[in-house]
Amino acid sequence: MSTSIAAKAAIVRNVGEPWTIENVEISAPQANEVLVRIVGAGICHTDTACRTGFPVPMPIVLGHEGSGVVEQVGPGVTDLQVGDHVVLSFDSCGECRNCADDQPAYCFTFYPRNLGGVRAVDGSNTVTQNGQPINGAFFGQSSFATYALARTKNTVKVDKDLPLEILGPLGCGVQTGAGAAVNALGIRAGESLAIFGGGAVGLSALLGARAVGAGTVIVVEPNVARGQLALELGATHWINPKETPDTLAKIKELVGGVNYALDTTGIPPVMAAAVEALLPRGVLGLLGVPPPEATVPANMMSMLIRGITVRYIIEGDSDPQTFIPRMTGWYKAGKFPFDRLTRKFPFEQINEAAHAAESGQVIKPILTF
């Protein structure tokens, strides 16, 4: 059982170069690992950011929104079985203070585990090519490949009556947005939320807020198709900042202010508007990746007198083992139509699919195998 498995993987050889699909070998699963035959893999902004410079070792097999079928289990694995349908999420140690607090997205070893390119446990390679090392283990999976090696910790079993091909984004982008609204902000029935940016993460936040019965949900988004989709998905208001540049004034005019705000853009002036849109005791959650030199652009006195909280949120404060089943439960109940954000592309069209997302034509591309 310890023979490696032949697979095809999309490799980035150097920063900024396109993906090339090449033959590789995937390591057989060790203790606490499973081999998954990938049937779908979403493309997240972090994949494209890593291709173009977010620091990861090269050459590398990216992909961290995989879904598929368990093909092999490592020695001693009992909680997953061959044939199980699974969604792959981010990896965590399960033992540090934050993992023990059920906050695995803030695992003390999150970055080496998810972006280090090798097995965190012993530094060995999970992907090779003709015996030569290729970086893998990306978010404990590297799912831009026909097979992925995952850890039981980040492998979540799902019901077989769900559409497996499109479930991968529940492991990152959808979980990040929906979890931000539901877990991190803890939005409750009737409370109000303004979401800045209507991409995959922002619209997932909208879906999460709707699933738990939020009241007013305002989406600020310049792309007309995305703004219209936000309204179809239950946003009470869509503000197009191209037509209404003073979004803060517009939010105040519409509803006076909001209990919560989420910024998915990482753009400092957008964050400044989001802080000022909050009612007293409001909370702003930051999800967008900022420019490297950016500092917080908020007026401290204005925040003080309203008792404002501003915090960063990773992966929606989610524990994938419980939050992914919660989302699939909402989906089955017709309360969480995340499939409306997706479009399928054949694996071979990975570069076209990523470009379609970057240019704003597609919200969440999913590679199918």
- Which residues make up the interface to ligand CXF (CB under 6 A)? 44, 46, 172, 289, 314
Q: Comparing C-alpha atoms, which of 3, 70, 78, 4 is closest to residue 34? A: 70
367 has which bridge partners?
41, 345
Q: Report the alpha-carbon distance of residue 262 to residue 271 in Å, rounded.
A: 9
Q: How far is the CB of 22 from ligand CXF (least distance, A)?
A: 24
Q: How far is the CB of 44 from Zn ion (least distance, A)?
A: 3
Nearer to ligand CXF, 174 or 185 (CB): 174
Q: Report residue 44 as tokens.
A: 């997240």
Nearer to ligand CXF, 74 or 208 (CB): 208
Nearer to ligand CXF, 28 or 289 (CB): 289
Q: How far is the CB of 1 from ligand CXF (least distance, A)?
A: 32
Is the backbone of residue 315 left (phi > 0), alpha (psi -120 to 50) or beta? left
Q: How far is the CB of 143 from ligand CXF (least distance, A)?
A: 13
Q: How far is the CB of 25 from ligand CXF (least distance, A)?
A: 26
| Binding positions for Zn ion, 167-196, rule CB under 5 A | 172
Q: Hey, how many other C-beta atoms are within 10 angstroms of the C-beta on 124?
A: 11
Determine the residue with CB nearest Zn ion.
Answer: 44
Instruction: Decide which of Zn ion, ligand CXF, none touches 310; Cβ closer than 5 to 8 Å per partner kind.
Output: none
User: Dihedrals φ, ψ of 68, to 5°?
Assistant: 180, -160
Instruction: Decide which of ligand CXF, Zn ion, none touches 318; Cβ closer than 5 to 8 Å per partner kind.
Output: none
Nearer to ligand CXF, 201 or 251 (CB): 201
Nearer to Zn ion, 202 or 227 (CB): 202
Interface with Zn ion includes 235 (CB under 5 A)?
no
Q: How far is the CB of 356 from Zn ion (least distance, A)?
A: 17
Q: How far is the CB of 227 from Zn ion (least distance, A)?
A: 23
| Binding positions for Zn ion, 326-345, rule CB under 5 A | none
8 Å CB contact between 180 and 320 = no
Nearer to ligand CXF, 134 or 314 (CB): 314
Q: How far is the CB of 225 from Zn ion (least distance, A)?
A: 22
Q: Comparing C-alpha atoms, which of 308, 243, 251 is closest to residue 277? A: 251
Instruction: Decide which of ligand CXF, Zn ion, none touches 314; Cβ closer than 5 to 8 Å per partner kind.
Output: ligand CXF
Non-local (6+) Cβ contacts of 234 within 8 A are 206, 207, 210, 217
Nearer to ligand CXF, 172 or 258 (CB): 172
Nearer to ligand CXF, 111 or 246 (CB): 111
In what helix (H) or strand (E) does residue 311 lie, and over which residues does it extend?
A: strand 309-312
Q: What is the 3-state secondary structure (H, E, C) of 282-303?
A: EEEEECCCCCCCCCCCCCHHHH
Alpha-helical segments (H) within the chain: 45-51, 97-100, 110-115, 173-179, 200-211, 224-232, 247-255, 268-276, 300-306, 320-332, 350-358
Determine the residue with CB nearest ligand CXF.
Answer: 46
Number of chain residues interacting with Zn ion (CB under 5 A): 3
Q: Report the alpha-carbon distance of residue 153 to residue 94 in Å, rounded.
A: 8
Select from 27, 30, 46, 146 the one that contacts Zn ion (CB under 5 A): 46
DSSP state of 4: -
DSSP state of 181: I
Please report, as ranges, the residues that interact with Zn ion according to CB under 5 A.
44, 46, 172
